[in-house]
């Protein structure tokens, strides 16, 4: 078997959008934005801006995905618009840092939540639990796209239900004035907006992961734009609703001082049982995100292997399960390497992810401009609304995110830059080696 199976409809694809975005961020980044900004109005304003950025990105990727419904998503668009080297670097960084770093970091987050309920020392503590989580979900997705998406759907529906319940209860109840707390003063507004925007960008990224499985979506020209629109709509409603309830219940100062915003909000609204319930929901949400990240990003490595740019074995499809099993084992295996090498330090892992991720977010979206000019003949079942302004706004937002991440996490950004340079050298070595082989073949005839 050499091709992936088209088995996903609007429902599963929409839930992949939601599951690829809502992970651990909404359970802790609202506190980061509150610490960076002086008032509730500023907090909601930055989250609204983040929603607009996400919508602009999703609509842009909807045109690209409907036009080129192939496994690999952004890898395919960058390859067709900018050439094989930038596309190779996207796949290279997905394996080395972007997807693998996020998987390792979020698996550690899951382990931290699980530790609140059961002792985990017998399996190696947090790192042991994180490793078991990565291995178990790699095996689940190895067994085919159906087991992977069913798992994703269950956990995504759970997180939607839990956060929706928190929003409805929070809007319906009136817990009284927020408690008086001592919170850190916000920095100067320009610095604060920049810091808050980086946190929001981290939290709203992920919709592009559904494009990575376009090769397994039924009627992708119609299904993918619908799924992206529906999924982003759900995420924006949940994120804005959650922040309204957080601020109403805790106030700006209480939100800034919180280390578990959803649990503290639920605890104040409905007591300890509510705090426990939302903590469980956060744990399941994080677990579900690890699954989606493995499911979708393995398709980038699959596309990379199909092109023969790096480890052609990644393009193999399991004859029984129809999964890119080699690509999955590569991604899961390298995630384990990063987990052990960094000793599970989440901050170290994520600071590198944000830097690299938004480079290729922006480059993928910029493909729409190049392909409109160079490939006007391609069938476009959907065209992005507000072209060229909406895609340009997203590309500019990505550029701002890259600069902000570089300034705030210089060390890991330099590590990421080093990985990019290594990728360029590796690509050039492979290309030059292939040319020498071809020249030798010609000389020998």
CA distances, 179 to each of 257, 277, 335, 356 (Å) = 11, 22, 42, 40
CA distance linking residue 414 with residue 420, whole number of Å: 10
Q: Which of 212-216, 337-341, 413-417 has the highest mean pLDDT?
A: 337-341
Q: Say what the pLDDT of residue 1 is.
A: 47
pLDDT at 132 over 90: yes
Contact 395, 81 (CB under 8 A): no
Q: Say what the pLDDT of residue 319 is.
A: 85
Could you read off the pLDDT of 345-359 as tens digits, one per residue?
Answer: 765 666 666 677 788
Average pLDDT of the chain? 83
Confidence of residue 385 (pLDDT cuts 50, 70, 90): confident
Could you read off the pLDDT of 81-125 as tens digits, one per residue?
Answer: 999 899 999 989 988 888 888 888 888 878 877 887 888 888 888
Burial of 304 (0-12, 13-18, 19+ CB in 10 A): buried
Contact 109, 78 (CB under 8 A): no
Give the lowest-confidence range in 89-93, 127-131, 167-171, 303-307. 303-307
**pTM score:** 0.79
pLDDT at 430 over 70: yes
State mean pLDDT over 174-181.
76
CA distance linking residue 213 with residue 216, whole number of Å: 5
- Cβ within 8 Å of residue 417, ≥6 positions away: none
Q: Say what the pLDDT of residue 118 is.
A: 86
Q: Say what the pLDDT of residue 329 is.
A: 93
State mean pLDDT over 122-134.
91
CA distance linking residue 348 with residue 102, whole number of Å: 11
Could you read off the pLDDT of 247-259 as tens digits, one per residue?
Answer: 999 998 889 888 7
State mean pLDDT over 122-135.
91
**Which residues make beta-bridge pairs with 8?**
217
Could you read off the pLDDT of 2-32 as tens digits, one per residue?
Answer: 566 666 778 878 887 887 788 777 887 888 8
Confidence of residue 54 (pLDDT cuts 50, 70, 90): confident
Q: Say what the pLDDT of residue 191 is.
A: 76
> In 73-219, where does DSSP find H-type helix?
74-82, 84-93, 99-114, 125-142, 145-172, 189-204
State mean pLDDT over 171-179.
81
Could you read off the pLDDT of 278-294 as tens digits, one per residue?
Answer: 888 888 888 888 888 88
Q: Say what the pLDDT of residue 46 is.
A: 92
CA distances, 226 to each of 31, 157, 327, 369 (Å) = 32, 18, 28, 22
Contact 36, 252 (CB under 8 A): no
Using a pLDDT cut of 70, give the percent of the chain over it.
89
> Which has more confidence, 222 or 329?
329
Q: Say what the pLDDT of residue 348 is.
A: 61
State mean pLDDT over 321-337.
90
């Amino acid at each position: 078997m050499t091709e992936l199976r088209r088995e996903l409809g609007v429902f599963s694809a929409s839930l992949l959008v939601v599951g690829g975005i809502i992970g651990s961020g909404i359970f802790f980044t609202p506190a980061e934005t509150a610490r960076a900004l002086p008032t509730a109005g500023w907090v909601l304003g930055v989250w609204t801006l983040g929603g607009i950025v996400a919508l602009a990105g999703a609509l842009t990727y909807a045109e690209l995905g409907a036009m080129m419904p192939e496994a690999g998503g952004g890898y395919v668009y960058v390859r067709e618009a900018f050439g094989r080297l930038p596309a190779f670097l996207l796949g290279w960084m997905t394996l080395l840092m972007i997807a693998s770093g996020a998987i390792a970091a979020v698996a550690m987050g899951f382990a931290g939540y699980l530790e609140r309920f059961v002792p985990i020392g017998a399996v190696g503590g947090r790192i042991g639990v994180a490793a078991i989580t990565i291995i178990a979900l790699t095996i689940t997705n190895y067994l085919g796209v159906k087991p992977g998406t069913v798992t994703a759907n269950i956990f995504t529906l759970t997180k939607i239900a839990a956060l929706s319940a928190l929003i409805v209860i929070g809007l319906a109840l009136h817990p009284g004035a927020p408690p008086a707390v001592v919170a850190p003063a916000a920095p100067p507004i320009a610095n604060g907006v920049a810091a808050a925007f980086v946190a929001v960008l981290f939290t709203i990224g992920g919709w592009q992961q559904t494009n990575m499985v376009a090769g397994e979506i039924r009627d992708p020209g119609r299904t993918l734009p619908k799924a992206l629109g529906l999924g982003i709509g759900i995420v924006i409603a949940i994120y804005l609703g959650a922040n309204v309830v957080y601020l109403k219940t805790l106030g700006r100062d209480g939100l800034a001082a919180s280390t578990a915003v959803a649990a503290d909000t639920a605890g104040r609204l409905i007591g300890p049982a509510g705090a426990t319930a939302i903590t469980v929901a956060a744990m399941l949400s994080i677990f579900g995100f690890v699954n989606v990240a493995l499911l979708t990003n393995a398709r980038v490595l699959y596309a990379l292997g199909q092109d023969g740019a790096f480890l052609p074995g990644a393009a193999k499809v399991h004859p029984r399960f129809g999964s890119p099993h080699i690509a999955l084992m590569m991604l899961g295996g390298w995630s384990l390497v990063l987990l052990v090498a960094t000793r599970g330090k989440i901050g170290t892992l994520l600071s590198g992810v944000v830097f690299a991720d938004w480079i290729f977010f922006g480059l993928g979206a910029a493909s729409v401009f190049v392909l409109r000019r160079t490939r006007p003949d391609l069938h476009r079942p959907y065209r992005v609304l507000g072209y060229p302004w909406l895609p340009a706004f997203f590309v500019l937002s990505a550029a701002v995110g890259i600069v902000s991440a570089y300034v705030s996490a210089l060390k890991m950004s330099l590590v990421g830059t080093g990985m990019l340079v290594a990728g360029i050298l590796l690509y050039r070595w492979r290309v030059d080696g292939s040319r020498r082989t071809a020249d030798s073949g010609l000389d020998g005839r």
